[in-house]
Amino acid sequence: MYKIPKEIQTFLETPYQLSSEEKTFYNDNRFIKLKGVLNEETCYYFNEVITSCVNRLNTETREFKDRTTYQKAFLQLFNLWQHDESIKYLVFSKRIARLAADLMQCSGCRLYHDQALFKEPGGGITPWHADQYYWPLNSDKTATAWIPLQAIMPEMGPLEFSAGSHIITEGRDLEIGDDSEEKIQKRLRITNFKHVIEPFELGEVSFHSGWVFHRAGANQTEHMRKVMTIIYMDESMRLKQPENENQVNDWNTWCPGAIVGEIIDTPLNPILT
């Protein structure tokens, strides 16, 4: 276990001030990229801590030729906060949670779950999708913080967004895979939503809501693309009746014991701010 330097603890408790323009941009587009959410020291520290945890927990050893498109996209490890106290400090940090709450326009937010998404050298695309297809949540008051642990150049596969695409419903019933990549791409091609694909500076973090369509390119480099994500939801979020098997699985895995129609208040879903 790592001992978090006091300076990083203090930094993660320090608010990030959003402008009214940034709040409006997020509300209109349902994504935003913010520079300086983390400083260099914090990025370097959690790069080391999270990489160590991923290496310890990862069980994927198959060659790419033996994996599905989804499995080629990244190594995916969940709820690292339960495995490492230092990572818990990041996931529970007031700095990032308050940002999510302000963007969602909520008085407070809960944790849904976290996940590390490490795209291996030569790893494939992350197909077009909307996250909330998987979530048994009764509103779109959700926000995923996509936290690169290093600068991400275009050839590493940064997150791409279809700005404002949360307003369309076609494609919401597709799980991530070859089908979603083809059908959602075809649907977005005939719209005027802006396609945003940009590199990420060190310390830059993006937030996106559950219904905005997004993807990521392949990692064409010899280096691992290391990303930590934290999914937040309105503190008053209620569990809805699941609409597919993936939502049933999410219910049982990320909010066990929650009751349909009631606020999702379980030990795995604490209020963070």
* Alpha-carbon span 70 to 175, nearest angstrom: 10
Kindly state whether residue 139 falls inside one of the protein's structural domains: yes
Within a 13 Å sphere around the CA of 257, how many CA atoms are in the beta-carbon half? 5
pLDDT in 10s for each residue of the chain, 273 residues:
568 999 999 999 999 999 999 999 999 999 999 999 999 999 999 999 999 999 999 999 999 999 999 999 999 999 999 999 999 999 999 999 999 999 999 999 999 999 999 999 999 999 999 999 999 999 999 999 999 999 999 999 999 999 999 999 999 999 999 999 999 999 999 899 999 999 999 999 999 999 999 999 999 999 999 999 999 999 999 999 999 999 999 999 999 999 999 999 999 999 999
* Alpha-carbon span 208 to 161, nearest angstrom: 9
Kindly state whether residue 272 falls inside one of the protein's structural domains: no
Kindly state whether residue 208 falls inside one of the protein's structural domains: yes
Angle between helices 94-104 and 20-29 (to 10 degrees): 60
Kindly state whether residue 1 falls inside one of the protein's structural domains: no
CATH code: domain of residue 107: 2.60.120.620
* Alpha-carbon span 95 to 203, nearest angstrom: 13
Kindly state whether residue 270 falls inside one of the protein's structural domains: no
The total number of structural domains in the chain stands at 1
State whether residue 84 is helix, strand or coil. coil
144 phi, psi to nearest 5 deg? -105, 120
Q: Note the helical H segments in the chain.
A: 6-12, 20-29, 40-57, 69-73, 85-91, 94-104, 178-189, 245-254
Kindly state whether residue 150 falls inside one of the protein's structural domains: yes
- What is the residue whose two structure tokens read 């790592």? 2
Residue range(s) defining the domain that contains residue 71: 6-254
Kindly state whether residue 268 falls inside one of the protein's structural domains: no
What is the model's pTM? Answer: 0.97
